[in-house]
Each structure stands twice: as C-alpha cells, then as structure tokens.
Amino acid sequence: MHEALLSIPEPVIRIAAFLAIFGSMAAFELMSPRLARPEMTGALRSRRWVANIGLVLVSSVVLRIVFPAAAVGAALWASLNNFGLFNIAGAPSWLAAILAFLILDFAVWLEHVASHKLPLLWRIHRIHHSDTGFDVTTALRFHPLEIVLSMAWKAVVVLALGAPVWSVLVFEIVLNGAAMFNHANIRVPDRVDRFLRGAMAENG
C-alpha cells in the first residue's frame, strides 16, 4: 500500500489531502457553525479568508524555496544513506513507522510549547493568535518564518530517527488535517465535544 502511495509525487498528495480536508471543514462550517459572529460572515470573513489563505500561499512558496523536499525529502535522504536510528538498528518498518509518528507528534508539541514560552518565538507565533475570527482558515495563519523553523525542526527529528518516508508523509497530512479540524468553527455533538476537550486537556 505505501509503495503505491509513494509512487505519486509528494506535493500532489499533500495538495490533494489539503484541498479535501479544507473543503470538508469549510462546508461543515457553513452547514453547522458553532459560533455566529460578525467576523465569521460577510465582508469581514471574506477579508480574513483572503488574508489567511494568502499567508499560507506565501509560506508554502517560501518553504519550498528553503526546503524543496521538506520533511519527506529528509526521510528519503536518510533511507538512501542508511542514516538515523531506525535505519542503523534495522528496525522493522511497521515499528519504525509507529514510533516515528508518535515521536514526531511529541516533537511538534514541544515546538508549540516553545513558541508560547520563548519570547523570540512568541513574537513570530503571535500572528496566529492575532486572527480576529476563528475558523478553518485560522489553522493556516502562520508567519512564513515560523513555517520554515517548524520544518527545520521536523527535518532534524526525521533525520535523527531515520523515519520511514511514508510515515512522515502520513504524519504531515494528519498534522495538517488535525489543525484544520481543531480550528474549524463547527458544531459537534456535546458528547463528542466533551471527549475531545478532555483528551486535549490531558495532552496539553
């Protein structure tokens, strides 16, 4: 299965996944919004969407210039050069994939904590928190420098682990999708909402 996945260019997979998730969340927001505020509708929403989507487009271009192959490229390099813990140890691919996913998730959590605790990183990260509304596009609102630093951090972790290429690709898609879901202005059943809030509180 993962061989077939990797036969498709990584940017194509990422863009297709992004559009599918973004479209689903945006449609869900229209059908079942949790909050109805002026900044969520009409002209204010349009301006926010243009600004936030424009920002992610700029960030994506900058990222591809600085890191053309991104984290997946780092994983491919590690695999071809037998670099990183899992490659050197000859770990089974399924075990390496699971551990890499979990460790990358923890690494991103550490990065997020640092972005709130360290003054320099907070100055960059606060553009995300300066959004005047809160919807799926808020998940895209990050300073290009923060996107580059985040990718550099993930690439270091990927190289150190020798993470499998396909597990890194899946992680990136899940990370992006989870961010859009977490920020989406959608109404979910109370029981599901309580469960998700409890799970996030335990992890945060």
pLDDT in tens, 77-95: 999 999 999 999 999 999 9
Q: Specify the pLDDT at position 9.
A: 77
Q: Which of 26-40, 155-169, 190-204 has the highest mean pLDDT?
A: 155-169
Select the more confidently predicted residue: 68 or 146: 146
Tokens representing 110? 């550490």
The H-assigned helical ranges of the chain are 2-6, 10-31, 42-66, 70-80, 85-89, 93-117, 119-129, 144-161, 165-183, 190-203
Q: Which tens digits make up the pLDDT trace of 113-127?
A: 999 999 999 999 999
Residue-by-residue DSSP string for 77-92: HHHHTT-SHHHHHT--
Q: Specify the pLDDT at position 187.
A: 84
Say if CB 140 and CB 176 are below 8 A apart: no
Q: For the purposes of burial, counting CB atoms within 10 Å of the CB of 204, is it exposed (0-12), middle (13-18) or buried (19 or more)? A: exposed
CA dihedral (154, 155, 161, 166) in degrees, to 10, reads 90
Average pLDDT over residues 39-52: 73
Average pLDDT over residues 104-119: 96
For residue 154, the one-letter residue type is K
Residue 131, pLDDT > 70, answer yes
Residue 39, pLDDT > 60, answer no
| CA atoms 184, 190, 195, 198: torsion sign | positive
**HSE-up (13 A, CA, CB side) for residue 173:** 19
Percent of the chain with pLDDT over 90: 62
Q: Specify the pLDDT at position 1.
A: 46
Residue 154, pLDDT > 80, answer yes
Q: How confident is the model at residue 71 (pLDDT cuts 50, 70, 90)?
A: very high
Grouping H, G, I as helix, E, B as strand and the rest as coil, residue 54 is helix
Percent of the chain with pLDDT over 70: 86
